[in-house]
């Protein structure tokens, strides 16, 4: 998002920055007396009051109720994130926690993102989330099978985005290990790299002819369509929902219920993230969001790239008075490391040593 000066003088910027950071830390309206006593401001209390009044008239501050203090508006938070934010220096402990995640041997994107959302929640003390955005071009790149018994086997699907899905296939007719091997061989010949719309009736009829069991092929195809539907539809996983309860902004049970409902429905948040362009960390503040129930919240997320494509995103949601510097630094580091992990030539096999 573009940085701009908003027509503010250096003194107004300094005062706005001090108010935002004081409100983030304490949660209470900030008055001129506090700024005079605790901030590095050389101007008088009267000057600060005048500047605060002008910042309010310009839309950067709000005065709640009859309080003498001010709080940042959504416009004020936006300007703070775009133009005033200082880089947060992550602690050695925080960096170690991120690096620990990177050492875990994980071949599934789902598991990587899920673990990353938990780390993001832990490091920032906000609710973390992981997203696999909607994609209409997901296909299966490889099929594998594992024989269980004469009536069941495991179908393993490796998707084009790196996701691995498994389905337990149960059939009435007896099957053999050879039958199961034939299933994977034929699928790898006829179905790989096709999306759901491309798997047409002639292909299914050819599968039935080669496998020799229409009921078995029907069960397999049902599972394949289910998996492709799941992958195309996007996924949203949430970590640390209870952290929202720590903030008075979410004390109203009705507002909190609506926010939790948005996570359960997931479509609005998936659309918001899937439609966002750019590789950096995105901060969606209050009414900037198309998701009305997060009007009084901030959603911050970082896209995850693999081979130039966005394959997911990690982020946090919290109150407007979020510790933006810490959140942005955490997601930038975490997202960057995951992108690097996903773009390694291959995951190292168990037992291999790790460099550094």
Residue 46 lies in a domain: yes
Q: Where among 233, 254, 269 does a domain terminate?
A: 233
Report how many domains make up the chain. 3
Give yes or no: residues 104 and 250 share one domain: yes
Q: Is 112 exposed, middle or buried (0-12, 13-18, 19+ CB in 10 A)?
A: buried
Residue 1: per-residue pLDDT: 40
pLDDT at 300: 94
pLDDT at 57: 94
pLDDT of residue 353: 41
Distance between CA 77 and CA 20 in Å, rounded? 7
130 plus 196 within the same structural domain: no
Residue 5 falls inside a structural domain: no
Residue 118 shares a structural domain with residue 66: no
Q: Compute the distance between CA of residue 212 and CA of residue 68 in angstroms, rounded to an integer.
A: 81
> What would the pLDDT profile of 230-266 be if each residue is shown by its tens digit?
777 677 889 998 898 888 888 887 778 878 887 877 7
pLDDT score for 255: 76
**Residues pairing with 170 in the sheet:** 152
What's the pLDDT score for residue 322?
Answer: 94
Cβ–Cβ under 8 Å, residues 325 and 87: yes
Secondary structure (H, E, C), the chain: CCCCCCCCCHHHHHHHHHHHHHHHHHCCCECHHHHHHHCCCCCCHHHHHHHHHHHHHCCCEECCCCCCCEEECHHHHHHHHHHHCCCCCCCHHHHHHHHHHHHCCCCCHHHHHHHHHHHHHHHHCCEEEEEECCCCCCCEEEEEEEEEECCEEEEEEEECCCCEEEEEEECCCCCCHHHHHHHHHHHHHHCCCCCHHHCCHHHHHHHHHHHCCHHHHHHHHHHHHHHHHHHHHCEEEEECHHHHHHCHHHCCHHHHHHHHHHHHHCHHHHHHHHCCCCCCCEEEEHHHCCCHHHCCEEEEEEEEEECCEEEEEEEEEEECCCCHHHHHHHHHHHHHHHHHHHCCCCCCCCCCCCCC
Residue 348 falls inside a structural domain: no
Tell me which H or E stretch contains 67.
none
The CATH number that applies at residue 127 is 3.30.450.40
Q: Please, are residues 237 and 273 in contact by the beta-carbon 8 Å criterion?
A: no
Considering the domain architecture, whether residues 185 and 222 belong to the same structural domain is answered as yes
| 1 lies in some domain | no
Q: Within a domain: residue 349?
A: no
* Mean pLDDT along residues 275-293: 82
Asked if the model's pLDDT at residue 40 lies above 70, the reply is no
Residues 213 and 186 in one domain: yes
Domain check: are 56 and 164 in the same one?
no
pTM above 0.95, yes or no: no
CATH number at residue 200: 3.30.390
| Paired strand residues for 61 | 72
User: Residue 350 has what pLDDT?
Assistant: 41
Helix (H, G, I), strand (E, B) or coil at 80: helix
> Is the same domain home to 254 and 238?
yes
pLDDT digits (tens, 9 = 90+) for 108-130: 777 888 889 999 999 999 999 99
Q: What is the pLDDT of residues 187-226, one digit of tens each?
A: 999 999 888 878 889 999 999 999 999 999 999 999 998 8
Residue 118 shares a structural domain with residue 210: no
Tokens matching residue 191:
């179905």
Output the six-digit token pair for 127: 């609710």
Q: Is position 152 within any domain?
A: yes
Asked whether the predicted pLDDT for residue 68 surpasses 80, the reply is no
* Tokens, residue 329: 């630094």
* 229 and 242 belong to one structural domain: no
Please indicate, yes or no, whether residues 288 and 266 belong to a single structural domain of this protein. Answer: yes
DSSP at 82: I
Which runs of E-coded beta strand occur in the chain? 61-62, 71-72, 127-132, 140-149, 152-159, 164-170, 235-239, 282-285, 297-306, 309-319
Instruction: State the pLDDT at residue 345.
Output: 62
Residue 202 in any domain: the answer is yes
243 vs 256: CA distance, rounded Å: 12
| C-alpha to C-alpha distances, 232 to 64, 88, 160, 229, nearest whole angstrom | 45, 36, 11, 5
pLDDT at 107: 57
Same domain, 204 and 124: no
Give yes or no: residues 240 and 335 share one domain.
yes
Residue 150 lies in a domain: yes
Show the domain range for 150: 140-233
HSE of 345 in the Cβ direction (CA atoms, 13 Å)?
2
């Amino acid at each position: 998002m573009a940085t701009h000066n908003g027509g503010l003088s250096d003194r107004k910027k300094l005062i706005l920055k001090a108010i935002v950071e004081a409100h983030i830390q304490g949660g209470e309206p900030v008055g001129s007396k506090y700024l005079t006593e605790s901030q590095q401001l050389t101007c008088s209390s009267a000057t600060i009051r005048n500047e605060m009044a002008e910042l309010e008239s310009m839309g950067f501050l709000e005065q709640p109720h009859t309080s003498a203090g001010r709080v940042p508006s959504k416009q004020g938070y936006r300007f703070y994130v775009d133009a005033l934010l200082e880089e947060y220096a992550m602690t050695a402990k925080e960096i170690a926690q991120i690096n620990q995640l990177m050492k875990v041997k994980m071949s599934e994107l789902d598991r990587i993102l899920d673990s990353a959302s938990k780390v993001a929640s832990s490091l920032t003390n906000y609710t973390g989330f992981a997203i696999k955005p909607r994609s209409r071009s997901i296909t299966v790149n490889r099929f594998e099978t594992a024989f269980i018994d004469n009536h069941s086997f495991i179908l393993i699907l490796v998707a084009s985005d790196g996701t691995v899905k498994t389905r337990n296939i149960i059939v009435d007719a007896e099957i053999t290990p050879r039958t199961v091997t034939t299933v994977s061989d034929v699928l790898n010949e006829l179905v790989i790299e096709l999306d759901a719309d491309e798997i047409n009736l002639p292909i299914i009829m050819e599968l039935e002819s080669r496998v020799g069991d229409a009921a078995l092929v029907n069960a397999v195809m049902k599972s394949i369509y289910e998996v492709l539907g799941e992958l195309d539809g996007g996924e949203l996983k949430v970590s640390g929902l209870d952290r929202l309860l720590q903030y008075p902004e979410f004390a109203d049970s009705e507002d909190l219920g609506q926010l939790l409902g948005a996570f359960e429905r997931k479509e609005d948040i998936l659309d918001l993230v899937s439609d966002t362009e750019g590789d950096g960390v995105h901060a969606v503040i209050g009414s900037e969001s198309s998701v009305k129930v997060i009007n009084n919240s901030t959603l911050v997320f970082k896209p995850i790239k693999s081979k130039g494509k966005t394959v997911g995103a990690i982020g946090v949601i919290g109150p407007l008075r979020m510790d933006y510097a810490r959140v942005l630094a955490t997601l930038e580091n975490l997202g960057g490391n995951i992108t690097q992990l996903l773009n390694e030539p291959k995951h190292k096999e168990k037992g291999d040593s790790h460099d550094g």
